[in-house]
Amino acid sequence: MGFPVIGETFQFIKANSSLDIPDYFKIRMRRYGPVFKTSLFGQPAVFTCDAEVNRFILKEEGNVFQIGYPEAVRKIFGGKSIDAFRGATQKFIRKFCFTLFGLENLKEVLLPELEGAVRECLATWATKPSVDVRGGAPDILFELMTKKFLSFDAAKSAELRKNIDTLSKGLLSFPIYLPGTAFYRSMKAWKNVRKTIRDTLTERLRTPDKKHGDMLDLIVEQLHCEEPLINENFAVDMVSTLLFAGIYTLAAIIAITFKSLHDNPEVVCALKEENQAILKNRKDGNSRLTWEECKSLRFTSQVTNEIFRISNAAIGVFRTTLMDAQVNGYTIPAGWIVIVNPMALHLNAEVFEDPLKFNPWRWMDETKRSTLLKNFMPFGAGMRVCPGAEYSKAVVTLLIHVLVTEYILWAWCKGWQSPAATEDPLTVQESVGLHALRGQAVLDATSNTFAVVGSAKMFLADVKALR
């Protein structure tokens, strides 16, 4: 279980590849099997990488298990607020989330706005010599989401962004509140975020009849009910948490989308063919992607599935046992944290052949599709399946659609071969119009193509819109 108090926290939170099972899990799965115990953040915990155990835990939400997070996360996001995400309050939160991220609003309102945000961000990136895609991914969604939640303008969004960026860097740090630690900086940033949102909410509560057409209107309405399900403190924590989740959980997925396309030119070719066909069939060439068109992009949908399958964007799904739990011969004591790890399922070679290979065509095999889907849970399962699942898939689909229809991607798509790699891992070098970064060919400057990827960072370079 590791060292006293700290347990195996530092081994758990150290940096790992976003495209493979973290070393922490690999080592312990080989040593102890798919279900093992440890100690994290000063608390006893159980990790499960077993499909049946995972499904049992997610299915028994509210009976044997309930939502539960490490102490660092609870302290940063407000322990009482997070713990209250159940019962009548949970129903209100889900209704709140579905108002913005649900299918009806996604189809009619959010989809074209998301496409506009993607276009605007890529157009801005195209004017820069390089962009850190992983760090810059929130650019795509931040201004739109703060407008949807709080009606913030660009200036207010930028200030909020600085604090949430700082918050994200210490989210899973060890909870030691001392100056200089990541946790200390995160707590300070969290206080600033909460103050910004609280000030906005307080101002709104003074004029409840004035509507702004954003999500905060629903909060104000709920707080003015005779028997409100939430209070102001909870409302501030909830908006802060959902704003963070709606933007930053997708940042790694967006970066992995770029890498996946860069590494698989044959996939780009198939995507271009499918998405260009949509444009050719439109009466209005300037119209944006509709929900019906989105659903008709069958291969693009499989690419999106594959991106979410290979992405180690989230550490896991956190639960706490309400009582001693018996499952598949294991006993999980009451009060322990349980972390369901979907990545181990997604990279299980017995289910997904050659699991580390990016192969969207695997989802086209109808004889295996049901088995694949049974072991595919990027958005959780059970009572708490992510209400933003369709929203998340739509963001990736729109990003792919705009990239392959409006930007020149990879001149080597039809047979171009990579040049010799640069020896300097941090320098972008030019050779015969070609750029290489971290040992991989990334740019054909002569035809304005781009590619992005380093082992630690991703870059966008010389992207030119087809206008």
| Amino acid, res. 121 | C
- 48: exposed, middle or buried (C-beta count within 10 Å: 0-12, 13-18, 19+)? buried
Would you list which residues are annotated within the binding site?
386
- Of the candidates 52, 125, 141, the one whose C-alpha atom is nearest the C-alpha of residue 388 is 141
Secondary structure (DSSP) of 262-279: HH-HHHHHHHHHHHHHHH
Beta strands 429-431; 325-327: pairing state: unpaired
Contacts of residue 360, Cβ cutoff 8 Å, sequence gap at least 6: 267, 299, 302, 303, 305, 306
Residue 414 exposure: Cα atoms within 13 Å on the Cβ side: 4
Burial string for 62-100 (b: 16+ CB within 10 Å, else e) reads eebbbbbbbebbbbbbbeebbebbeeebbebbbebbbeb
Would you list which residues are annotated within the binding site for heme?
386
Structure token digits, residue 439: 């040992």
Which runs of consecutive H residues, i.e. helices, occur in 224-317? Answer: 232-248, 251-263, 265-280, 291-296, 298-310
What's the CA gap between 57 and 66, in Å, rounded?
A: 9
What's the CA gap between 364 and 131, in Å, rounded?
A: 34
SS3 337: strand
SS3 132: strand
DSSP state letter for 355: T
CA dihedral sign, ordered 209, 211, 216, 218: positive
DSSP state letter for 380: -
Contacts of residue 91, Cβ cutoff 8 Å, sequence gap at least 6: none
Structure token digits, residue 193: 């975020």
- Residue 408: alpha-carbon gap to chain centroid: 26
CA dihedral sign, ordered 358, 359, 363, 367: negative
- Of the candidates 395, 462, 455, the one whose C-alpha atom is nearest the C-alpha of residue 17 is 455
**Cα-flanking dihedrals φ and ψ of residue 461, to 5°?**
-140, 135
